[in-house]
Amino acid sequence: MRLPMSSVSPVGMASALGLVIVLAGAELLALSLLYQHGFDFTCRAAAPVWFCAFAGRIVPRVLAILAVLVIFIVARRAAVARLLATPGRPSGVALNLAGFALILAPWFGLSDSSSSAMVSLAAASWSVGGILAAAGLALALAPWQAWRELIAGNGLVLTVLLAVGLGLPELSDQLQPLWRVEAITDITFFATLWTLGMLGYAVQAIPADKVIGTEEFAVAVGPQCSGVEGFMLITVFLALYVGLFRKELRFPHALLLFPVGLLLSWVFNVLRISVLMVIGFEGQPELAIGAFHSHAGWLSFTLLSLLLIMASRAVPGLRRADAPRSAVSLPPFLSDPAVVRILPFIVFMASALLASTGSQAPGTLYLWRALAMGAALALVWPGIRALPWRVSAQAVGAGAAIAVLWIVTGPDSGDAPYGTLAGTAFALWLMARIIGTSVFVPIIEELFFRDYLITRIAPAGRGIMLGVALILSTAAFAALHDRWIVAALAGAVFAGLFCYSRNITDAIVAHMTANGIIAVFALLTGAWHIL
């Protein structure tokens, strides 16, 4: 027994919505990384000024559009449910990938030395690619007729929401002077100093210049990285929410969301600055500085806004007693078997890519990777909990054998993955490494490599296609490990357990056992390079 995947159509509502979310997230991450690193081009006079201004901040614009669409989905549940009731078109994925390829094309040949014609061609490639990629995602979600019906009944609301999302970066620019208001800056500045002191760091400060740090690492927290745009984001999103839900909300009680949201945004900003300072203190100054100026701030403040809105839906005092409650709900795509198996793996790979891109010692960032993996697993927890969990002697024995093989064939020495971390930072890293390695990684990798890949390639579970599935899943698993021969053997054992019992939890338990024994061995001997 296991959670069946064949019972859910690949073009069903949940699968389509999950596929669109995963595909859009992966593409946004890839574009953000590629165009921020190694792209030797500055938008200049060869391209229209308006285009440079628009394209230069495309990632925060897309994040804002996605956020306002989430609010629309919650507010217009019945209309969105009708949209998703008709299966999308598989050709939408092909159209999206074609658009994504056009967006990527300029990255390979465009530079500051390119001619005006080449820059104009790149601008056209970006524009057409963006339109095709967005249209492809829409078509994968629902056919054009369903979209026309949705727009016919909600065209004005959607137009306003999209306009707000597209213009949010410029609105944030107008609020930057808030950081220069002495009352706001001083409270934030000294709250950050207090937080760092509570964490045990002795820092120096120059309040007049908003400089915080030590002799080895210090930053000047300016308008662009102060987080005041978080005030704007949470205010705009709450205003949209209150406007769309005005018939359901209880006034003036609902207006309390604004001071609560601003307070949460301020607290979050203080914690964000403090965490980035700690990263710099612990030997990762480039990563800390890069994170101040990355899109992570927009993403985190946007998520904070949406979480506050969702949480407010559960507060009875904010809703009118006679507010209508829709019986129509969106499909639980986070419980969809395909999403349960794919989404955590996407987060797992994305966190690895971000760590290796942002730091010369990516192993030191494992705490943040573990938090990301844990959050992804929490999102799909209903599907994971529904698995037929059991602990068999066969699985435990196989896991123990793999652990012994991994330990005895490992190198005698190697670099410590925690780098120069010490004290509290090392204790947190150690806890995250043990939990991540022994619990999170086995669940994520087995659900994807064994359950998803093997089942998708060989749904019948027998014949030639099963052999192909075993080879491909084992090869893909081995490719993620430096010691690929031993990893391939381990992957073959996990696959064998799954195919023999048709229960993925046997493979998960074996993987947990193996990684747990290896983690205990590393803890007792200090041989952390063995992980």
Are 493 and 398 a contacting pair, CB within 8 Å?
yes
Are 103 and 129 a contacting pair, CB within 8 Å?
yes
Place of tokens 């050709």: 91
Closest CA to 452 of 378, 406, 399, 383: 383
Hey, which bits of 329-416 come out as E strands?
none
The model carries a pTM of 0.58
Tens of pLDDT along the chain (531 residues)?
344 443 334 334 555 666 677 677 777 777 766 776 666 677 755 556 777 777 777 778 887 888 888 888 877 878 888 887 777 787 888 898 899 999 888 888 777 777 778 888 888 898 899 899 999 988 988 899 999 999 998 888 888 888 888 888 887 777 667 666 777 777 888 888 888 888 777 888 888 777 888 877 887 776 656 667 778 888 888 888 888 888 888 888 888 888 988 888 888 888 888 887 887 777 667 666 666 655 666 777 777 887 888 777 778 788 777 766 554 444 455 667 878 888 898 888 888 877 776 566 778 788 888 988 998 898 888 889 989 999 999 999 999 999 999 999 888 777 778 777 777 778 888 899 999 999 999 999 999 999 988 888 888 777 888 888 888 888 888 888 888 899 999 999 999 999 988 899 999 999 999 999 999 998 888 887 787
The 10s digit of each residue's pLDDT in 287-305 is: 666 666 556 667 777 778 8
Hey, which bits of 216-282 come out as E strands?
218-220
Phi, psi of 8 (to 5 degrees): -110, 120
Q: Is the dihedral of CA 107, 108, 111, 117 positive or negative?
A: negative
Per-residue pLDDT at 3: 41
Place of tokens 């609010």: 71
**What does the domain layout of the chain look like in residue ranges?**
39-87+142-331, 346-530
Burial class of residue 366, CB neighbours in 10 A (0-12, 13-18, 19+): buried
List CB contacts of 374: < 8 A, sequence separation 6 or more: 435, 436, 440
The 10s digit of each residue's pLDDT in 319-335 is: 777 766 554 444 455 66
Phi, psi of 179 (to 5 degrees): -65, -20
The 10s digit of each residue's pLDDT in 235-292 is: 888 888 888 888 888 888 888 888 988 888 888 888 888 887 887 777 667 666 666 6
Q: Is the dihedral of CA 368, 373, 376, 382 positive or negative?
A: negative
Closest CA to 37 of 363, 286, 358, 285: 358
